Chains A and B, each alone.
Chain A
Amino acid sequence: MNEVVLDARDISRSFMISQGFMRAKRPLHAVNGVNLKLHRGEVLALVGESGCGKTTLAKMLLGLLPPSAGTLELDGQPLASLSHLEVARIVQPIFQDPYSSLNPRKSIGSIITLPLQVQGDKDPASWRQRAEEIMELVGLPRRVYNNFPSQLSGGQRQRVAIARALINRPRVVICDEPTSALDVSVQSQILNLLQDLRQELGLTYLMISHNLAVVEHMATRIAVMYLGRIVEEGEAESVYNSPRHPYTEALLGSVLTPDPSLGVPDTHLGAAYPNPLDMPSGCSFHPRCTKMLPQCAQQAPSPIPTESGHVECSLYEENKGKMRITS
């Protein structure tokens, strides 16, 4: 359980953004010094608002985007030393929208066996059988082997995407909003399937989602991201039951559980998600924070260890994150 399969140390990624004709480009720090460890068999959920850098981080972990600083290790080997094919054997993605992530002109069979072909699998005769095995595992009927994506429902398409990701038996699967394009009743089928597959194949998931109810259900660990940094990280139980960072608290407070006796919560967050090109000084969350201290506008908080992870907030600076300060 304690084996680290994916280790990101202080990784950053910035993009140069054009400001217009004849004007200097400015850097946008999409991911800014992120530390992340993924242990075998766990489900790490990455949550945060759109634009906080979740997808950029996922792309770096998939080897699709080189980090501009920091090191990444996959299975104990530096990612930079691995070829694309080697990375693809260890990490595989499942994307959000099964309507656009499958090639409409390829049959289901050829979509699922493409990874085998790309990896130069030596035994083409066995491909069909292996595809049918994995199709059975993800709950797809064999008869759709020769069908095209347009002939399948949304849930079936997502099953195809899962089968394609799993056919080479990766160790880590990065699920980028795996169910947000699906209907409620289909979403629960896919979540159940992902749970079963994790146990059967010993998979490790990194789940990116903004649906906190889903995250709460699936995750063993939670990392909360805000403006390119992980502001709180820890075991799911402790993050959910006693959130420390005011942003985590606001996120959890905005989850709408189906309880008709409760009204719509007021998060007091304000509408303004800051412009990532023009980051606030000090703690990047301070303009929206309800518990802001005088030093927050000047001084960026450093990570403070908690019992199962860390939190980045000046509220916990003095007492090392052990107890919360009541104002």
Chain B
Amino acid sequence: MSNKILEVQDLTIDIPTPSGTLHAVQSVSIHVDRGETLCIVGESGCGKSLTSLAIMDLLPRKAVRKATRLELAGESVFDIGERRMSDIRGDRMSMIFQEPMTSLNPAYTIGDQLTEALRRHKKVSRREARDRAVFLLEKVGITAAASRLGQYPHQLSGGLRQRVMIAMALMCGPDLIIADEPTTALDVTIQAQILHLLAELQREFNMGLILITHDLGVVARIADRVAVMYAGQIVETGTAKQIFKNPAHPYTRGLLACIPIPGQTARGAHLGAIPGIVPSLVGRMPGCHFASRCSEVRDNCTTAPIPQFEGAEPGRSVRCLLADEATGREPAREGAA
């Protein structure tokens, strides 16, 4: 029995638009183990949020989702019907969204919203649900937890609301939590606290965690493994150490050069930049998606699709022809993020 909580293979999301089909996510394969943190990092529009919505089966109706495998703890959760899916959602896997202001219902108290999922999924009494809510609110560092249950979201600060969201995601003791930019809307001091808390809770409850973010600082500090996405594809995977110490894909290298690092980047010096803009994903694109912005582009980069090459270490893969030359390996089968 493997430790895999989530396994996704060849996930593809197409969205029909008036000007043609938008290939938002293209054969993405990821997996998460119990107690492991996978960070999906990329810029806006790269498909990272759609990937997480697809795992939860929460995509907009017109989006077309395909996958050869979508398994939660060894059990397929692909197209199992809305009724069965809603039994799993919130119970065995739950989600934390970016904006705690908009993802809490302003018309219900914190207590109502916290206990709703637990009462829906488990046979528990009102009192038991309430006790669990108080227990978890205390766990996420909210003082006077019992008195918070009667409060409405607008009575809480942004940091407190995000803590409530985390407590809510934990109510049923899920196997997997997907956090989509959980700290982007928060102040730096609160961000550090929330991330600290997430990491601690994940260890304590031995959950799988997928963290979606564009902030490389967050990724470096919290991730076990990293998947870098660009224009709908995973371009590089590896452990956090591999990605940050030894980035292989030109896009990853470009991203890392873009951010100023206190103590390392000379103050006021020019930062690295990736020229150009993200290509449109409408219609098929032959070759590498990053080719138009890549400084090391070759002739054969734009002719055929670039497969994901397996690196020397296990779990490492790069979607770049240059990396292939470096390792001299045969293209690996798609997968194994």
Check if A125 is an interface residue, CB within 8 A of chain B. no
Q: Which of A237, A253, A264 has the most CB of B within 10 A?
A: A264
Q: Are A49 and B187 in contact (CB under 8 A)?
A: yes
Q: Given that A260-B220, A260-B223 are known contacts, is A217 also in contact with B271, CB under 8 Å in the complex? A: yes
Check if B188 is an interface residue, CB within 8 A of chain A. yes
Check if A59 is an interface residue, CB within 8 A of chain B. no
**What per-residue 1/0 map shows which CB atoms of B85-117 lie under 8 Å from chain A?**
000000000000000000000000000000000
How distant is A258 from chain B, measured CB to nearest CB, in Å? Answer: 4
Check if B193 is an interface residue, CB within 8 A of chain A. yes
Q: Which of these binds chain A: B76-84, B127-135, B259-267?
A: B259-267
How distant is B77 from chain A, measured CB to nearest CB, in Å? Answer: 30
Check if B240 is an interface residue, CB within 8 A of chain A. yes
Check if B274 is an interface residue, CB within 8 A of chain A. yes
Question: Closest residue of chain B to A218, judged by CB?
Answer: B268
Question: Closest residue of chain B to A191, judged by CB?
Answer: B271
Question: Closest residue of chain B to A212, judged by CB?
Answer: B188
Q: Given that A49-B189, A191-B271, A266-B196 are known contacts, is A271 also in contact with B260, CB under 8 Å in the complex? A: no
Check if A50 is an interface residue, CB within 8 A of chain B. yes
Check if A148 is an interface residue, CB within 8 A of chain B. no
With A and B bound together, what is the CA distance between A188 and B265 in angstroms? 12
Question: Closest residue of chain A to B258, judged by CB?
Answer: A188
Q: Given that A195-B268, A214-B260, A218-B268 are known contacts, is A258 also in contact with B187, CB under 8 Å in the complex? A: no
Check if A145 is an interface residue, CB within 8 A of chain B. no
Q: Which of B191, B193, B256, B270 has the most CB of A within 10 A?
A: B193
How distant is B26 from chain A, measured CB to nearest CB, in Å? Answer: 20
Query: Using Cβ atoms and an 8 Å threshold, which residues of chain B touch A201?
Result: none
B259 contact from A184, A269, A273, Cβ within 8 A: A184
**What per-residue 1/0 map shows which CB atoms of A213-245 lie under 8 Å from chain B?**
110111000000000000000001100100000
Q: Are A257 and B262 in contact (CB under 8 A)?
A: yes
Check if B14 is an interface residue, CB within 8 A of chain A. no
With A and B bound together, what is the CA distance between A192 and B275 in angstroms? 13
How distant is B268 from chain A, measured CB to nearest CB, in Å? Answer: 6
Check if B214 is an interface residue, CB within 8 A of chain A. yes
Q: Given that A260-B244, A267-B193 are known contacts, is A255 also in contact with B220, CB under 8 Å in the complex? A: no
Question: Closest residue of chain B to A183, judged by CB?
Answer: B43
Q: Given that A216-B267, A267-B189 are known contacts, is A184 also in contact with B255, CB under 8 Å in the complex? A: yes
Q: Are B222 and A264 in contact (CB under 8 A)?
A: yes
Check if A326 is an interface residue, CB within 8 A of chain B. no
Question: Closest residue of chain B to A247, judged by CB?
Answer: B189
Interface hits, A132-188 → B, CB 8 Å = 153, 155, 183-185, 187-188
How distant is A276 from chain B, measured CB to nearest CB, in Å? Answer: 12
Check if B195 is an interface residue, CB within 8 A of chain A. yes
Q: Which of these binds chain A: B61-69, B157-165, B298-306, B318-326?
A: B157-165
Question: Closest residue of chain B to A260, judged by CB?
Answer: B240
With A and B bound together, what is the CA distance between A237 and B266 in angstroms? 12
With A and B bound together, what is the CA distance between A191 and B193 in angstroms? 28
Question: Closest residue of chain B to A49, judged by CB?
Answer: B187
Interface hits, A240-294 → B, CB 8 Å = 240, 250-251, 253-267, 269, 271-273
With A and B bound together, what is the CA distance between A189 and B43 in angstroms? 14
How distant is B244 from chain A, measured CB to nearest CB, in Å? Answer: 5
Query: Using Cβ atoms and an 8 Å threshold, which residues of chain B touch A266?
Result: 192-193, 196
Query: Using Cβ atoms and an 8 Å threshold, which residues of chain A touch B146?
Result: none
Chain A interface residue count, CB cutoff 8 Å, equals: 45
B216 contact from A191, A255, A258, A264, Cβ within 8 A: A258
How distant is A254 from chain B, measured CB to nearest CB, in Å? Answer: 4
How distant is B10 from chain A, measured CB to nearest CB, in Å? Answer: 27
How distant is A224 from chain B, measured CB to nearest CB, in Å? Answer: 12
With A and B bound together, what is the CA distance between A212 and B273 in angstroms? 19
Question: Closest residue of chain B to A216, judged by CB?
Answer: B262
How distant is B248 from chain A, measured CB to nearest CB, in Å? Answer: 15
Q: Are B192 and A256 in contact (CB under 8 A)?
A: yes
How distant is A122 from chain B, measured CB to nearest CB, in Å? Answer: 38
Query: Using Cβ atoms and an 8 Å threshold, which residues of chain B touch A250?
Result: 189
Query: Using Cβ atoms and an 8 Å threshold, which residues of chain A touch B215?
Result: 184, 256
Query: Using Cβ atoms and an 8 Å threshold, which residues of chain B touch A263?
Result: 199, 221-222
Check if B219 is an interface residue, CB within 8 A of chain A. yes
B261 contact from A185, A257, A267, Cβ within 8 A: A257
Check if A210 is an interface residue, CB within 8 A of chain B. yes
A185 contact from B43, B187, B217, B244, Cβ within 8 A: B43
Q: Are A271 and B192 in contact (CB under 8 A)?
A: no
Q: Are A271 and B274 in contact (CB under 8 A)?
A: no
Q: Given that A236-B267, A254-B189, A254-B192 are known contacts, is A213 also in contact with B221, CB under 8 Å in the complex? A: no
Q: What would 19 A/B residue contacts be, using CB atoms closer than 8 Å?
A: A153-B277, A155-B277, A184-B214, A185-B255, A185-B258, A189-B273, A192-B270, A192-B271, A216-B260, A216-B262, A256-B220, A258-B219, A258-B220, A259-B244, A266-B192, A269-B189, A271-B157, A272-B157, A273-B187
A-contacting residues of B (Cβ < 8 Å)?
A: 43-44, 141-142, 157-160, 163, 187-193, 195-196, 199, 214-223, 239-241, 243-245, 254-263, 265, 267-268, 270-274, 277
Closest 7 CB pairs of A and B: A256-B217, A217-B260, A188-B258, A254-B192, A260-B240, A188-B271, A258-B220
Q: A184-B216, A210-B188, A264-B195 are in contact. List 15 more A-B contacts (CB 8 A).
A: A49-B189, A184-B258, A185-B254, A185-B274, A188-B260, A191-B271, A213-B259, A217-B260, A217-B268, A254-B189, A255-B217, A256-B215, A257-B261, A258-B244, A265-B192
